[in-house]
Amino acid sequence: MALRLSTLFLRTLREDPVDAEVDSHKLLLRAGYIRRAAPGIYTWLPLGLRVLRKVEAIVREEMDGIGAQEVHFPALLPKEPYEVTNRWLEYGDGIFRLQDRKGADYLLAPTHEEMFTLLVKDLYSSYKDLPLSIYQIQNKYRDEARPRAGLLRGREFIMKDSYSFDIDDAGLDASYMAHRGAYLRIFARLGLEVIPVAATAGAMGGSRSEEFLHPVAIGEDTFVRSAGGYAANVEAVTTVVPDDIDFSNAPAADVRDTPETPTIDTLVAAANSMVPRDGGEWTAADTLKNVVLAIDLPTGVRQVVVIGVPGDRAVDLKRIEANIGAHLGVGGEVGVEAAGEEDLKKHPGLVKGYIGPGLSLDAPVLGSESSTKLPYLVDPRIVSGTSWITGANEAGKHVFGLVAGRDFSWDGTIEAVEVREGDPAPDGSGPLEAARGIEMGHIFALGRKYSEALDLKVLDQNGKLAVVTMGSYGIGVTRAVAALAESNHDDKGLIWPANVAPANVHVVAVGRGTEIFEAAEQLTAELEAAGLEVIYDDRPKVSPGVKFGDAELLGVPTILAVGRGLVDGVVEIKDRATGVAENVPVADAVKYILDKQ
């Protein structure tokens, strides 16, 4: 049945809502697709719900297509499984927690790894039951610190999440690739450009992981790509590690008075005035900057760590957040910030502005075996044989020519500094350039993290218990609606791709004559009889300007206007995307539109 604007539950807005920042948010509100109920929490109005259901249907078909089976979990979940995997703690403030009338703890699920794992454990017991992929399309909840951009980062949102269960790594690889293929088909059908980029697994754990980013300027995710096809999010980029350098002929390290040089800039200036360098000037890249960070662990412990990086590179706290857990032996989300006065007070061995790893391997100042006992991690560019100007652990003194591997060592390397445009792609495919995108989907080869924690084992071919290996795969369904709106609009309104538009044709009756409304009504009926979905603007006393404005705002692909041309036997058919309009004889209108589908 056609949606008639005389009765459709809709009110379009002329003005941009004050609290909407990005175009998709403004337009979805203005065109009456969604309405805000609370920060990051939205109500779907009839037109929005139609788009949402079409996106869901495409996702469902492609998931069914790879043999995944649909189930549906509760959103309200008991704490216990999330305690076993430690995510109850690891999520920190990021999830909604509550208690029932008996005081039992619950959460609103942010994602369902634990429940799926337990369900499979409950039902299955043999390798013959595998492989298995199951999924749901369901409400998710995250207590975002800053919900923003409408549906792009909400607190209640719909995700498709699926999980694969395999007996071995080869099986997981096949399941992962099947999902990867389904995701590419889903986004292609949605008309949504995505770039699969290598990602870190973060709090999810696991080995391999890719994000599907929709490249758009307002995207929250920064990623880098090379002309040669490399793409990764910034957290996941790996540094091209230089070869070790033979240090057998390197001069001995040399401590110098460098008064009042607590910063890299002052140090470089002092070095150039004090110790002229053969064949050029000292630059920040010659210095080793030792940054003291405080890491808030999910356990509540605050751990101080020192990270050594070339002085010309800024540390990137998000990259450190993504990578440091492995070094400290903790899972979950950690908080990373510069150590404060309170933190430094507890470590009097650190001389602010003049911190260094120590002058010899026998007397280390940084590192877990050193006098300070502070873990010392370094950027991967600091390889054996590289020579540095760095702090001598005395106020006003630096050491020149301190050689890595000869004079100092470290506990491990970490990707800790910002990735720059022009840095080489790790796969040799050329220099990196930066881009922004919205994360539309994310696939994880989880491995055995959850199955081990929750003891999901099956009998293998030899009758022995084997831990199942898992994958986890998500698509932001409500977010996809927003991303589609973000990338498909102009200054007049939305321009939906055909596969997800709330209707195929928007029929507008323009004018006051009865014959106009009769003809529009008749064409609406014929279009519907031909299998098309129609919005019919049958409002009797609304001006042509308002009607056309609403049609452009709502964004249905084809606008059919019945108006003054009717006396000459023609109607106007306009392509919303191109703006091209054509007068078509009334009798040919339906066929003309069908041919365009």
**Residues paired with 277 in a beta bridge:** 280
Q: Which stretch binds a copy of itself (CB under 8 A): 7-15, 234-242, 527-535, 570-578?
A: 7-15
Alpha helix segments (H runs only) across 275-332:
317-328
Using an 8 Å Cβ cutoff, are 364 and 321 in contact? no
Using an 8 Å Cβ cutoff, are 172 and 469 in contact? yes
Q: Which is nearer to a copy of itself, 33 or 282 (CB)?
A: 33
Q: Which is nearer to a copy of itself, 131 or 358 (CB)?
A: 131
Using rule CB under 8 A, residue 84 touches a copy of itself:
no
Q: Which is nearer to a copy of itself, 27 or 324 (CB)?
A: 27
For residues 220 and 233, give the distance between their C-alpha atoms in angstroms, rounded to a whole number: 11
Residue 150, both tokens: 């409408």
The answer to whether the Cα torsion of 64, 67, 72, 78 is positive or negative is negative
Using an 8 Å Cβ cutoff, are 300 and 281 in contact? no
Binding string, residues 175-214; x marks residues near a copy of itself by CB under 8 A: ----------------------------------------
Q: Which stretch binds a copy of itself (CB under 8 A): 98-106, 234-242, 377-385, 548-556?
A: 98-106
Binding string, residues 24-43; x marks residues near a copy of itself by CB under 8 A: --------x--x-xx--xxx
The distance of Cα 442 from the centroid of its chain, to the nearest Å, equals 7
Q: What beta strand segments (E) does 368-468 contain?
A: 376-378, 387-394, 397-403, 412-413, 432-447, 457-459, 465-467
Q: Which stretch binds a copy of itself (CB under 8 A): 9-17, 191-199, 223-231, 287-295?
A: 9-17
Q: Please, is 366 exposed, middle or buried when counting C-beta atoms within 10 Å of its C-beta (0-12, 13-18, 19+)?
A: buried
Q: Which is nearer to a copy of itself, 27 or 194 (CB)?
A: 27
Using rule CB under 8 A, residue 581 touches a copy of itself:
no
Q: Which stretch binds a copy of itself (CB under 8 A): 67-75, 317-325, 392-400, 446-454?
A: 67-75
Residue 153, both tokens: 């980062």
Q: Which long-range contacts (CB under 8 A, 24 or more apart) does 513-522 make?
A: 513/566, 515/566, 516/562, 516/563, 516/566, 519/562, 519/566, 519/571, 519/586, 520/562
Q: Which is nearer to a copy of itself, 250 or 542 (CB)?
A: 542
Using rule CB under 8 A, residue 546 touches a copy of itself:
no
What's the one-letter identity of residue 5?
L
Using rule CB under 8 A, residue 122 touches a copy of itself:
yes
Q: Which is nearer to a copy of itself, 102 or 348 (CB)?
A: 102
What's the one-letter identity of residue 436?
R
Residue 266, both tokens: 């002052």
Q: Please, is 461 exposed, middle or buried when counting C-beta atoms within 10 Å of its C-beta (0-12, 13-18, 19+)?
A: exposed
Using an 8 Å Cβ cutoff, are 140 and 111 in contact? yes
Cβ atoms within 10 Å of 420's Cβ, excluding its own: 13
Q: Which stretch binds a copy of itself (CB under 8 A): 117-125, 199-207, 400-408, 558-566?
A: 117-125
Q: Which stretch binds a copy of itself (CB under 8 A): 14-22, 70-78, 350-358, 404-412?
A: 70-78
Using rule CB under 8 A, residue 96 touches a copy of itself:
yes
Q: Which is nearer to a copy of itself, 4 or 180 (CB)?
A: 4
Binding string, residues 467-506; x marks residues near a copy of itself by CB under 8 A: ----------------------------------------
Q: Which is nearer to a copy of itself, 7 or 249 (CB)?
A: 7
Using rule CB under 8 A, residue 20 touches a copy of itself:
no
Binding string, residues 47-66; x marks residues near a copy of itself by CB under 8 A: --x--x-----------x--
Contact set for a copy of itself, span 133-162 (CB under 8 A): 134, 139, 141, 143, 145, 155-156
Using rule CB under 8 A, residue 7 touches a copy of itself:
yes
Using rule CB under 8 A, residue 543 touches a copy of itself:
no
Q: Which stretch binds a copy of itself (CB under 8 A): 69-77, 321-329, 355-363, 514-522?
A: 69-77
Q: Calculate Rg over the CA atoms of the chain.
A: 30
Using rule CB under 8 A, residue 579 touches a copy of itself:
no
Using rule CB under 8 A, residue 88 touches a copy of itself:
no
Three-state secondary structure call for residue 349: coil
Using rule CB under 8 A, residue 19 touches a copy of itself:
no
Q: Out of 76, 301, 314, 594, name the contact with a copy of itself by CB under 8 A.
A: 76
Using rule CB under 8 A, residue 568 touches a copy of itself:
no
Please give the C-alpha separations between residue 252 and each of 382, 397, 405, in angstroms, as whole numbers: 18, 16, 13
Q: Which is nearer to a copy of itself, 67 or 585 (CB)?
A: 67
Q: Out of 14, 15, 18, 101, name the contact with a copy of itself by CB under 8 A.
A: 101
- Non-local (6+) Cβ contacts of 99 within 8 A are 105, 106
Please give the C-alpha separations between residue 551 and each of 6, 447, 545, in angstroms, as whole numbers: 14, 50, 10
Give kind and range of the element (H or E) at residue 355. Answer: none
Binding site for a copy of itself (CB under 8 A): 1, 7-11, 32, 35, 37-38, 41-46, 49, 52, 64, 67, 69-78, 93, 96-98, 100-101, 106, 108, 115, 119, 122-124, 132, 134, 139, 141, 143, 145, 155-156
